[in-house]
Chains A and B, each alone.
Chain A
Amino acid sequence: NAGVMQNPRHLVRRRGQEARLRCSPMKGHSHVYWYRQLPEEGLKFMVYLQKENIIDESGMPKERFSAEFPKEGPSILRIQQVVRGDSAAYFCASSPPSGSSYNEQFFGPGTRLTVL
């Protein structure tokens, strides 16, 4: 069973361009979370999605950022008109459907975005 896959692993964009980050969850997992990690700020929750639904996007910046998890295919985190402050590591995590309050998350290797 392959783990969570993210691509690309490294992405370089110029200011004003768009960045698209992809996340394929583990097989059987229907929950996807996106996080941003900056060197001295730790992991920051951005958004929680289930198939075709955004469950919680309270950590997403109001502008330029969007996320989706379509019925078929990977989850996409999209950043429009990137700025230098968007440079960070973006991690995706997935978890299986669960009836409890706790869903164990499995993290992908991350996408390192650099904005020039």
Chain B
Amino acid sequence: QKEVEQDPGPLSVPEGAIVSLNCTYSNSAFQYFMWYRQYSRKGPELLMYTYSSGNKEDGRFTAQVDKSSKYISLFIRDSQPSDSATYLCATTTGNQFYFGTGTSLTVIP
């Protein structure tokens, strides 16, 4: 079983829509959860990270972790064409980082 599972999409939404991206993870010992954004031909950049369960908000982005169901979510409000990218969820043991395969998002103007 993979440490992190993520639906690869692709996902296509109209501008202004609310986007929901999701992952599941296998090991209940994971404590830190991250979301990265990766534009084509670029390296991933960290969007947000959360520790343990709960929500974290940063502008139009909200990260949510539900440890009881081992579920990680990223919500994007008022989506913009510039949000078009691949979004990767990740978790870590401290030494190793485990990434989902990424969900490709296109926001259509």
B80 to chain A, nearest CB (A): 22
Residues of B within 8 A of A33 (CB): 97
* Stretch of A62-70, A74-82, A100-108 with 4 or more beta carbons under 8 angstroms from chain B: A100-108
**How many residues on A have C-beta within 8 angstroms of the other chain's C-beta atoms?**
26
B60 at the interface (CB under 8 A from A): no
B31 at the interface (CB under 8 A from A): yes
Interface string of B35-48 (1 = CB under 8 A from A): 01000011111100
Bound CA–CA A97/B102 (angstroms): 28
Cα(A101)–Cα(B31), bound, Å: 9
Question: How far apart are the CA atoms of A33 and B101 in the complex, in Å?
Answer: 18
Is the pair B97, A104 in contact by a Cβ cutoff of 8 Å? no
- Interface residue B99 (Cβ < 8 Å from any Cβ of A): yes
Check A42–B102 contact: CB distance below 8 A.
yes
A56 contacts the other chain (CB 8 A): yes
CA–CA, A45 and B45, complex, Å: 16
B13-21, B62-70, B88-96 - the one binding chain A: B88-96
Q: Which residue of chain A is the closest to B95 with respect to CB atoms?
A: A56
Q: Shortest CB–CB separation between residue B33 and chain A, in angstroms?
A: 10
Is the interface on chain B under 10, 10 to 19, 20 to 34, or 35 or more residues?
A: 20 to 34
- Contact flags B48-80 to A (C-beta < 8 A → 1, else 0): 010100000000000000000000000000000
**A72-116 near B? 1/0 per residue, CB < 8 Å:** 000000000000000000010100000001111111111000000
Cα of A38 to Cα of B99 in the assembled complex, Å: 12
Most chain A CB neighbours (cut-off 10 Å) among B32, B44, B101: B44
Q: Does A12 contact B (CB under 8 A)?
A: no
- A residues in contact with B42, CB < 8 Å: 109-110
8 A-B pairs (CB sep. < 8 Å): A101-B32, A102-B49, A102-B51, A102-B92, A105-B97, A106-B46, A107-B36, A107-B45
